[in-house]
Amino acid sequence: MEKSNGLRVIMFPLPIQGCVNPMFQLAKILHSRGFSITVIHTRFNAPKTSNHSLFTFLEIPDGLSEKDKSTHDVTLLLTLLNRSCEAPFRECLTKLLQEKQRISCLIDDAGWIFTQPVAQSLNLPRLVTNTYKVSFFVGHFVLPPLRRDRYLLQQGSEQDEPAEEFPPLRKKDLLQILEGETEVLDSYSDMILQTTKASSGLIFVSSCEELDQDSLSQARKDFQLPIFAIGPSHSYFPGSSSSLFTPDQTCIQWLDKQEDNSVIYVSFGSVVNITESELLEVAWGLRNSEQPFLWVVRVGMVNGTKGVEAIPEELMERLEEKGKIVKWAPQQEVLKHRATGGFLTHNGWNSTVESVCEGVPMICVPSVWDQLLNARFVSDVWMVGLHLEGRIERDEIERVVRRLLLEPEGEVIRERMKLLKEKVGRSVKENGSANRSLQDLVDYISSF
């Protein structure tokens, strides 16, 4: 680590896996550049502080009931957190500012909407992190007007046509997004827009010019504030993770026994839920493909069950002949492994970027929200993966796994992915776009 510069940064992650990891990656980067780090966090999904001995941690109550904590409605969860955390957060931050140390700024996630007025009232600059692809963050603010204009009722039946309002989505993707929550989500999105515009800067922790050049130009016009695209941030500290789940390391030893590029890695992330029927279709599809697989079935992923218990014993025995099922995996290690030849993914942005950085082609099974856009970039724009188009059926899964791992089409996709990996990899190296943006961010924070 470089010598301390005497400046402290306060960080406040949203307690969701997809936001926690990038926030801690950013914290490690800033600490390596001389900043002291204090993390304010909720009791809900509290980080494992023992993994981060160089940081100071302060816990605040979040007011969530056990019922609240178990909800699958992410928008509801974030709304409740924003409602109940404001008072304890203000109290905690006020006490920190009264101590005799130089606090440079607050860095928190765009999903915290009460922190902007709190920071402003305390004369503390607030920088906002965002974990979406830039094009989704910039574009998703068009969704409330589209919904209000009765977009759903105005569309024809050609659902595979491009959605001109939100490229590269197709109409069926946009319809799927618009069919989600309405008033609560629209109001929340509007508050994110307003509080982000009022902030002192916007940090895209998992994007770079190479992945989002046009959208970054648009974002700078729309927001009129300093924007830093420093990602893929995990590349600065490879293998570093702040997982809220305990990864099963035995899967790495299992991968060691497999042939190069032979394994399909399957994970739907930390939030997505599937039905028992979909679980069985995936299981049969993987088994019938006759290819080795590593499959993450986290506890609570399957609606109404704990997870793998929904798979009949006879099928489980057949699955174990070819693959390995774990409750959570060290994803960066898995994607980096020589045996991993493809990633069947929900296309959360973190997972998508990690796959690009390791040169692993994808099979896209997006479920909600930004996943649908990320999948279109993978399959239609960069052409580094195949899209299941919502067909979670055993025959389709068997077919697409074999296409990717065994057929000439898969080799072509792998070559395209190799080129994209090299392009994005250059961004975090000296004089790369992300590296320059990171240095600009460090200089900016130091100027407060």
Structure tokens at 25: 């990656």
pLDDT over 90 at 146, yes or no: no
414 and 433 share one domain: no
% of the chain with per-residue pLDDT over 70: 95
- Assess if residue 240 is contained within a domain: no
pTM for this predicted structure: 0.92
For 228, phi and psi rounded to 5 degrees?
-125, 115
407 and 277 share one domain: yes
432 and 395 share one domain: no
- How high is the mean pLDDT of the chain? 90
Least confident of 50-54, 114-118, 244-248, 414-418: 244-248
Nearest to 410 by CA among 262, 257, 255, 211: 262
Sequence-distant (≥ 6) Cβ neighbours of residue 413 within 8 angstroms: 361, 383, 384, 385, 386, 404
pLDDT over 70 at 309, yes or no: yes
Q: Rounded to whole angstroms, how far apart are CA atoms 129 and 23? A: 8
pLDDT over 60 at 148, yes or no: yes
- Assess if residue 364 is contained within a domain: yes
| Higher-scoring residue by pLDDT: 151, 373 | 373
Any idea what the CATH number is for the domain that residue 255 is in? 3.40.50.2000
The DSSP 8-state label assigned to residue 162 in this structure reads B
136 and 188 share one domain: yes
Nearest to 226 by CA among 35, 438, 38, 14: 438
290 and 434 share one domain: no
Q: Read off the pLDDT band of 243 (50, 70, 90).
A: low
Q: For the chain, what is the domain count? A: 2
110 and 222 share one domain: yes
The DSSP 8-state label assigned to residue 379 in this structure reads I
> How many whole angstroms from its chain centre is CA 355?
12
Structure tokens at 57: 């941690």
Contact 301, 308 (CB under 8 A): no
- Assess if residue 85 is contained within a domain: yes
The residue type of 439 is Q
Residues of the domain holding 29 = 7-141+181-231+428-446
Look at residue 1 in the predicted model and tell me its pLDDT: 47
14 and 29 share one domain: yes
133 and 267 share one domain: no
- Assess if residue 150 is contained within a domain: no
Each residue's pLDDT tens digit, 414-446: 999 999 999 999 999 999 999 999 999 999 999
Least confident of 130-134, 206-210, 296-300, 441-445: 296-300
- Assess if residue 241 is contained within a domain: no
- Assess if residue 266 is contained within a domain: yes
Instruction: Tell me the CA end-to-end span of the chain in Å, nearest whole number.
Output: 22
195 and 305 share one domain: no
Contact 178, 152 (CB under 8 A): yes
Structure tokens at 176: 């799927």
Each residue's pLDDT tens digit, 68-81: 888 878 888 999 99
pLDDT over 90 at 89, yes or no: yes
- Assess if residue 77 is contained within a domain: yes
Torsion of CA 226, 192, 355, 239, to 10 degrees: 80
pLDDT over 50 at 127, yes or no: yes
Look at residue 17 in the predicted model and tell me its pLDDT: 79
Look at residue 271 in the predicted model and tell me its pLDDT: 78
- Assess if residue 61 is contained within a domain: yes
120 and 199 share one domain: yes
207 and 317 share one domain: no
15 and 96 share one domain: yes
